[in-house]
Structure 1
Amino acid sequence: MKAEKSRRRLRLATALVLGAGLVVAGCAQDAPSDEPEPDSGAEDGATDGEETSGEDVELRMYWWGSDLRHRITEEAIQAYEAENPGVTVQAEYADWSAYWDRLATMTAGGDMPDIIQMDLQFLSEYAARGSLADLENLPIDFSEWDEGTVDNGRTPDGLFAAVAGINAQVALLNPAVFEEAGVDLPDDTTWTWDDYLEIGRQISDSGVGYGTSPIISDHGAEAWLNQRGLSLFTDDGGLGFEAADLAEYYAYIEELTESGAAPDPATQADDISAPLDQSLFGTGQSAMSFWWSNQLAAVEDASGTDIEIALRPSSNAGDSPSGTYYKASMFFSIAETSPHQEEAAAFLDFMLNSEEAAPIVLAERGIAPNLTVREAMLDDLTEANVRVSEYIDDIADVVDSPPPIPPEGGSVAQELIQRIGLEVVFGQSTPEQAAESAYAELSDSVVGG
C-alpha cells in the first residue's frame, strides 16, 4: 500500500510539471468588463510594504467560496493568531458572483484587502495594473514546491500569486438520484455527449429530479472545443475556433433543454448564478453537473449524500484529446498597497507550507502544491478529499496539456458564453446566430482578435 501511494505521489508530481505554464502571460476570463482602475498608492502616505515594527498588526483576508471553505479558513486563521499574538487576521468573504465586483470597488477606492484569493481568470488584469505585490520579494518558501507549480502564478512581470491547489473540471454524479430514477451510473471512460443527453432525459422523465444541471460555461465550451482539437484562444492572442464550431456546442445546449434532460430556461438561468449550497446539484435536485474536483467535499457537505466523481463525457468515446487538464484551482495574492506585506506573506507561508495548517485546510482549495505538506495531510484527509487526491492522480494518463491562456480582453469569455447561451435556451437566438454573436464579441474584446 505504501509503495502504491509513493507511486501515486510520484505520478502526481510529474503531472504537476506537465500542468505548468497555466499562467505565463495569463489574462482574466470573467472579471467585470467595467472594472475601475485601481488606486496605485497606499493611504495616508504609507509606502508599499511598509512595516509597523513593534506594533500589533491587523491583516484583512478576502476570499470566495462555500460555507465549508469559510469554516476551515477561519479555523486556520485562529490557529495562526494563537501562534502569533501580535497579528490579527480579519476574515472577509463573498460568493463568486459578488466577489469580483466588491474587489474591484475596494481596489479602486484604495481599500484592497492585504490578502486576496485570486483566480487565473483575473490574475493578469490585476497584476498588469500594479495592484499585486511580487511574491518573489516576500518571505514565502517555495523550496519544496514543484518549480512548474510555482510558475503557475507568474506573469512576464513577476510572481504575483501563490498556487493554493490544483484541480480538474469533472462531472459529479448523485448516485441517490440515479438509483431512485432506476438509471445505472455511466462508465465515464467510454461515455459520450449523446450518452449524457440520453441519461439526463431518462432521469428527468422519471420525475425524481432534473437529469442535469445547466452546463453553459466557458469551461464547458472549452472542453467541447478541446475534444475537437480546437481551443477558445490561441497562443498568439487570437481565437482558436470558428463560429460554426461554437454553434455545435450551443446546439447541444439547446437539445439538452428541449429534450427535458436539463431544466426549463428560467430554472437554468437561476442555477447558473446560484451559490454552490443553493444550486440544483448541491441541493440534490439534479443527477449530474460539472464542477471543479476540489469542490467535491463542499458539494457533499451541501447535499448531505455521497457523490461520484467522473470524467466529463467525450466526443471521442474515451480517446484523446479528453478535454480534461490540470488547472491551478486558485491562488493567493498580496495587495501592492498593503502596508503589511511581510506579515501577509508570513501568514500565507503558514497556510501553504506548514504542517500545522495542513490538517485544517486539507484539500478544500485543491491538492496541496507543497509535496511535504501533501504527505503530512494524507492521514487527515476526509474520505472525499482522499478520493479527489486519488482521482487527480488516476487521470494523469488521460489529461491533455492546458489550453492557451486567455489573452488580454479574454476576461469576458465566461459572462459572454453564458449570456448568449441563455439566449439559445430561451429561444431568443438560434445556435448559429448565437455563435456568430459570441464570436464577434469575443473577437472585438481580445487583443489581437
Structure 2
Amino acid sequence: MLHNRRSFMLGAAGTAVGIALSSVAPRPAHAQNVRLRAMWWGSNDRSKRTLSVAKLFQEKNPDIAIVGETLSGDSYWTKLATQMAGRSVADIFQLEPTTISDYSKRGACLALDPFVPSALNIDAFGKDVLKLTTVDEKLWGIGLGLNSFALMYDADAFAKAGITPPGAETTWAQYADIAVEMTKAAGKKNYWGGPYGARYQYVFDAWLRQRGSSLYTDSGLGFTVDEAKEWFAYWEDLRKRGGTVGADIQTLDQNTIETNGLALGHAAISMAYSNQLVGYQLLAKSKLGITMLPRGKKGGPSGHYYRPALIWSIGATTKHGEDAAKFINFFVNDVDAGKILGVERGVPMSPAVRKAILPSLNPTETETVNYINALADQVGSYPSPAPLGSTEFDQRVLRPIADELAFERISVADAATRLVSEGKSTIKAG
C-alpha cells in the first residue's frame, strides 16, 4: 500500500508524537534554540528508525529540535523542486548516488567541507568512501551506508515450484528461462516470474557495465542506440514469453518497496538495492532470498559496484549548517543510533558502528551484510558522478519510454532511438 506524506516533530524531551501526525511534544523551560527540518523518502520502517534516532539525538542535544517529513514515490522530488524554487530546502534532506551530483550542481546542497572535522568526524570512513559523495572536489553529502544492486526473490515460492532460483553466476539468458518457468509453475492469475526491468535505470547501468559500456560518461550519455535496442529487445521478448509482470502492474512501481511487484504479490522476483531487503522482508509473508543481478556471460563482469545506499545532505539555504552537520555526524557515528538503524539504509560506513551492531542484527540484516561482503571480489570501480539532468532522464525519459513499449504503443527501434535522442536533450538541458 502506498503511504502518504508523514511528518513528525520531536520536542526537547524526545517524545515521539507519531508518524502520522504533526505536533509538538512538551518542552522544558529552556526551549530549543535551533529547529532543524529533515526530509526523506522511504518505508514506514525507515521512518520509525529515523524517528527513534532523532529522539535519541535530542535527548543528548536538548537545544536542537528536529522536525521531520517523509514522503513516498515521486512526491519527494516534486516537494524538493518546490523547495528549491522557493529557496527553502530542508536543513537536512536525503539524496542517493544518482541524484547527489545533479542536485549539488543545481545549488540545492551546502558544501560540507567547512564542517570537517569540527562537526563531522568522518576520518574513519576512508578517503575512497568519501569520494562517493564528492563532486567537483567538494563534499556534498555523507553516505549513510554501503549497498549495491541486487536481485531478491521469494524463496518459498521457488521451493514450492521446485525451481532453482537465480544465483551469482546466472546469465541474462538463463534468468529469462527461470522467470518464464516460474510464471508457468505458479499458475496464478496476475502473478509472474519477475519485473519488466526495462524501466530500471540502475539495472540498465549494470547491464551496460557488463558489456564494457556505461550509463553516463563525464559529458553525458554513455551508450548507443544499438545498445538501447538490445536492452529493450531483451525485456520485450521476455514480456511476450510471459516472464514479466504486465505493463499495468509495472507502471505502478514508483521505485519504492511498497509499489514493487514482489511486495504487491505479483512477482516472484524483484530487482532493487541490497539494503531494501530489510523493508521487503517486513512486507513479505514468505522468506526472501538475495543474490546478484544476472550477468552478460558466465564468468563475465558483474556490473556491480559499491555505492552509498542513501545520503544526508544539508540544504544550501540553511541558517544552521553546523547544527545540521552535528545531527548527521550523530546519525553515522553514534553506536546506539547505529543499533537502531541497523542496515536498513545500508551497511554502516563507520567501522566502529559496523562492529558494534553485528551481534544485534536479525537474520535478514545479517544476510544483507553477508551479501555486501560477498561482493568484495565482484565489484568494479565507482562510476563518474551522474551529469546534470540525470534525474529527469530517469523519471521523464527512461521510465515513460519503457512503459510505452510495455503497452505496445511504440516499437523497440523507436524506443531505443527516443531514449538516446531525448536523453541527450535532457542531459544538455539540465
State the one-letter code of the partner of 2:171.
T
Give CA deviations for 1:166-216 in whole Å, capped at 9, x if unaligned.
100011011122133332223x13311122111111221231431002212
Q: Deviations for 1:124-155, whole angstroms, at most 9, x for unmatched residues?
A: 23322333222121211112111111222212
Residue 200 of structure 2 aligns with which residue?
217
Partner of 2:216: 233
| Residue aligning to 1:100 | 77
Residue 344 (structure 2) pairs with residue 344 (structure 1): no
Give yes or no for the alignment of 1:254 onto 2:236: yes
**Aligned-pair CA distance for 1:309:** 0.6
CA gap of 1:55–1:308, structure 2 versus 1, over 3 A, is closer
Q: 1:5-84 maps to which residues of 2 (within 5 A)?
A: 56-84=33-61
Query: Percent of counterpart pairs with the same letter?
Result: 28
Tell me, in whole angstroms, the C-alpha distance in 2 between the residues paired with 1:193 and 1:73. Answer: 37
- Structure 2: segments with no counterpart, 5+ residues: 1-29
Q: CA deviation at 1:163?
A: 0.9
| d(CA) in 1 for partners of 2:111, 2:419 | 35
Q: Give the counterpart of 1:127 among 96, 104, 118.
A: 104
1:438 paired to 2:419? yes
Kept after mapping to 1: 8 A contact 2:393/2:426: no
SS at structure 2 position matched to 1:295 = helix
* Equivalent residue, structure 1, for 2:308: 328
Q: Distance in 2 between matches of 1:126 and 1:325?
A: 22
* Alignment partners' CA distance in 2, 1:399 and 1:320: 12
Q: What residue number does 2:370 align with?
A: 390
Determine if contact 1:168/1:327 at 8 Å carries over to the other structure.
Answer: yes
Q: Secondary structure at 1:405's aligned position in 2?
A: coil
Q: Distance in 1 between matches of 2:150 and 2:387?
A: 25
Aligned length: 393
- 1:290 aligned counterpart, secondary structure: strand
Which 4+ runs in 1 deviate beyond 4 A? none
SS at match of 2:264: coil
* 1:60 alignment partner, SS class: strand
| RMSD over aligned Cα atoms | 2.0
Distance 1:248 1:408, change over 3 A: same
> In structure 1, what is the equivalent of residue 174 of structure 2?
195
> Residue type of the partner of 1:205?
K
Aligned to 1:90, the other structure's residue is in SS state: strand
User: C-alpha separation between the residues in 2 aligned to 1:118 and 1:275?
Assistant: 14
Is 2:248 aligned against 1:266?
yes
Whether the aligned pair in 2 keeps the contact of 1:231 and 1:404 (CA below 8 Å) is: no
User: Which amino acid is the alignment partner of residue 119 of structure 1?
Assistant: E
Distance 1:438 1:296, change over 3 A: same
Which whole-Å CA distance do the structure 1 matches of 2:31 and 2:268 have between them?
56
CA distance in 1, matches of 2:171, 2:137: 42
Alignment match, 2:406: 425
Paired amino acid for 2:125: W
- Are the equivalent residues in 2 in contact too, given 1:214–1:289 (CA < 8 A)? no
Give the drift of 1:334. 1.0
Q: Deviations over 1:375-432 (max 9, x none)?
A: 1111122221211111111111111223333222333332212211122211112211
Contact 2:99 2:390 (8 Å CA) reproduced: no
* 1:58 positional shift: 1.6
Distance in 2 (alpha carbons) for counterparts of 1:240 and 1:130: 25
Q: State the TM-score, normalizing by the size of structure 2.
A: 0.87
Task: Indicate conservation of the 8 Å contact 1:277/1:303, yes or no.
Answer: no
Q: Whole-Å Cα distance in 1 between the matches of residues 228 and 259 of structure 2?
A: 29
Q: Distance in 2 between matches of 1:61 and 1:414?
A: 25
Structure 1 unaligned runs (5+)? 1-52
1:155 aligns with 2:138: no
Residue 135 of structure 2 contacts residue 385 of structure 2 at CA under 8 Å; is this kept in 1? no
Cα deviation for residue 274 of structure 1 reads: 6.6
The 3 A distance-change label for structure 1 pair 402 and 66 is same
- Look up the equivalent residue of 1:279 and give its one-letter code: N
- Are 2:110 and 2:140, in contact at CA under 8 Å, matched by a contact in 1? yes
C-alpha change, 1:242 and 1:361, in structure 2 (3 Å) is same
Measured in 2, the distance between the counterparts of 1:203 and 1:75 equals 40
Is 1:310 the equivalent of 2:287? no
Pairwise CA distance, 1:55: 5.3
- Confirm or deny: 8 A CA contact 2:333 2:350 kept in the other structure: yes
